[in-house]
């Protein structure tokens, strides 16, 4: 995402990450452009807010967002009236709304804009951004920046609406991945060629995003985690977190989510397993294959 944004914009950049190796790699990749588009490595979130008028964040969970935005060295303490914040983290909707409202009450603007599309979509700038904003004007202001990183930029409604869309999407994604993994495993065990079975599914009523773009069976597709020992991609820990958010939201609204509840328990197990915690969420296929009756 950051690579596409930097490559397509004609402006200086301010970067902050607790992982210094990531920052060093980014500046190395873009070393030839630094004279025209300088990159400043900030020492804290507050310095980012002091030096950049448009700030985009992506963090793993709610406590990280609260600390980066509202902590002692947080963004809120370095903003001014021209500051505009875009948070692409997937977090609890109530936390997202609270953080946004505190930023807005300080005179700045903020939207929530979680993404879907995975590592492949991030690299190809084909992500979908699901945007929650206090006004359509805020959405319009953010859209040119999001267009540099994504293909589908969708205004979902008021603050927190982007989070709603994201957890609903990932709830379905997780359920369908397990269904596809069980289907592929059964067909292969019965003697079906995996590539042929995949082709049939993708021209039949069983087709879904995972079957078409992200098959979990090794060797069926190239350049997906299943063909790279399930490295990279969207990790089991992150999927377990997103499902936790979805289940919490369902409990708060008294919505029955039978399949999602079972799916959450499966990914919670994988996220705590030493062999699977750092693997892509499609590794559920590997677990099913190795743990048959």
Q: How far is residue 257's CA from residue 263's CA, in Å, rounded to a whole number?
A: 10
Whether 58 contacts 88, CB under 8 Å: yes
DSSP state of 280: B
pLDDT per residue as tens digits for the range 158-213:
999 999 999 999 999 999 999 999 999 999 999 999 999 999 999 999 999 999 99
Question: Is pLDDT of 293 > 90?
Answer: no
**pLDDT attached to residue 83:** 98
Q: How far is residue 81's CA from residue 79's CA, in Å, rounded to a whole number?
A: 7
**pLDDT attached to residue 9:** 94
259 CB burial (10 A radius; 0-12, 13-18, 19+) = middle
Position 120 confidence tier, pLDDT thresholds 50, 70, 90: confident
Asked about 8 being catalytic, the answer comes back as no
Architecture in CATH for domain 165-290: Orthogonal Bundle (1.10)
**pLDDT attached to residue 118:** 87
Q: Which CATH superfamily is domain 2-159 in?
A: NAD(P)-binding Rossmann-like Domain (3.40.50.720)
The answer to whether the predicted template modeling score (pTM) of the entire model surpasses 0.85 is yes
The residue annotated as part of the active site, out of 20, 143, 166, 241, is 166
Quote the mean pLDDT of the chain.
97
Q: Which among 158, 126, 131 is positioned nearest to 142, based on CA atoms? A: 131
What is the residue extent of each domain of the chain? 2-159, 165-290
Position 276 confidence tier, pLDDT thresholds 50, 70, 90: very high
């Amino acid at each position: 995402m950051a690579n596409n944004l930097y490559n397509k914009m004609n402006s200086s950049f301010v970067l902050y990450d607790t992982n210094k190796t990531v920052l060093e790699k980014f500046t190395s990749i873009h070393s030839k452009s630094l004279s025209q588009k300088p990159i400043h490595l900030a020492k804290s979130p507050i310095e980012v807010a002091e030096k950049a008028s448009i700030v985009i964040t992506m963090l793993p969970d709610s406590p990280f967002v609260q600390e980066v935005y509202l902590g002692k060295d947080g963004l809120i303490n370095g903003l001014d009236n021209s500051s505009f914040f875009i948070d692409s983290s997937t977090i609890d909707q109530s936390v997202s709304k609270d953080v946004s409202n505190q930023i807005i009450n300080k005179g700045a603007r903020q939207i929530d804009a979680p993404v879907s599309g995975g590592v492949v979509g991030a690299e190809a700038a084909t992500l979908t951004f699901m945007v929650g904003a206090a006004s359509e004007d805020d959405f319009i202001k953010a859209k040119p920046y999001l267009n540099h990183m994504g293909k589908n930029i969708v205004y979902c409604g008021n603050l927190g609406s982007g989070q709603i869309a994201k957890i609903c999407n990932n709830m379905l994604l997780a359920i369908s991945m397990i269904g596809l993994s069980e289907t592929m495993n059964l067909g292969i065990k019965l003697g079906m060629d995996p590539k042929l079975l995949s082709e049939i599914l993708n021209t039949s009523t069983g087709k879904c995003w995972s079957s078409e773009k992200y098959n979990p069976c090794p060797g069926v597709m190239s350049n997906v985690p299943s063909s790279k020992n399930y490295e990279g991609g969207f990790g089991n820990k992150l999927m377990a977190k997103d499902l936790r958010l979805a289940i919490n939201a369902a409990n708060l609204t008294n919505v029955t989510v039978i399949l999602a509840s079972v799916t959450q328990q499966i990914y919670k197990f994988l996220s705590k397993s030493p062999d699977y915690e750092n693997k892509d969420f499609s590794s559920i296929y590997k677990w099913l294959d190795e743990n048959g009756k």
